[in-house]
Amino acid sequence: MTEDDVLKELTPLELGALCSNLAKACEKQLRTEEASLFAKLATYYSGQSETPLSPGFDRLAALMESELAEGYPEGNGAAAAVSDRGAMRALVWGEKVTKLLKNLLSRFAKAGDSLVDSTGVWVCEVCGFVFVGDEPPGICPICKAPRSRIILVQKEAV
């Protein structure tokens, strides 16, 4: 791996996402001042970015398939090479969530809004697991987070 593979200039959208994640991490660590500052940076950078084009169902499915076929095996190999158990665990979660999201995307492509019209959409704050149903599961089936960490997505955002 060369330096060019590791270092790259981040887009405003990437910086916004990074700052948003850092804000959440600080919030969970009860570092409210840092969380507030990262949230302000996230808002600023997100406002500086162009709205990305919606890739559509077929493009999203292809990206997920590529990640499942190439990205996760490459990541697992790199993590195993340095015996990084934390990275390997995160990759297992990520791969499971990607498979579930790919399935959910396929179901939504076929059923449309009727899939979520009369029910809730829930997301695990820890790993990103998405569940469609009236009530969230008792624990996240991916990362085992308690029900309190599985939040309802507002219908406008679905």
Query: Would you give the DSSP letter of residue 135?
Result: S
* pLDDT exceeds cutoff 70 at 152: yes
Helix (H, G, I), strand (E, B) or coil at 24: helix
Instruction: Kindly report, residue by residue over 59-104, the tens digit of the pLDDT.
Output: 888 889 999 999 999 999 999 999 999 999 889 988 988 998 888 8
Q: Which of 126, 124, 123, 127 is nearest to 153 (CA)?
A: 123
d(CA 143, CA 63): 23
* pLDDT exceeds cutoff 50 at 158: no
Q: pTM of the entire structure?
A: 0.60
Query: DSSP letters of 49-77?
Result: SPPPPP-HHHHHHHHHHHIIIIIHHHHHH
Give residue 125's pLDDT. Answer: 86
In this structure, what token pair is assigned to residue 43?
A: 């808002």
CATH number of 116-158: 1.20.210.10, 2.20.28.10, 3.40.50.620, 1.10.10.10?
A: 2.20.28.10
* pLDDT exceeds cutoff 90 at 150: yes
- For residues 94 and 74, the answer to whether their CB atoms sit within 8 Å is no
Give residue 109's pLDDT. Answer: 84
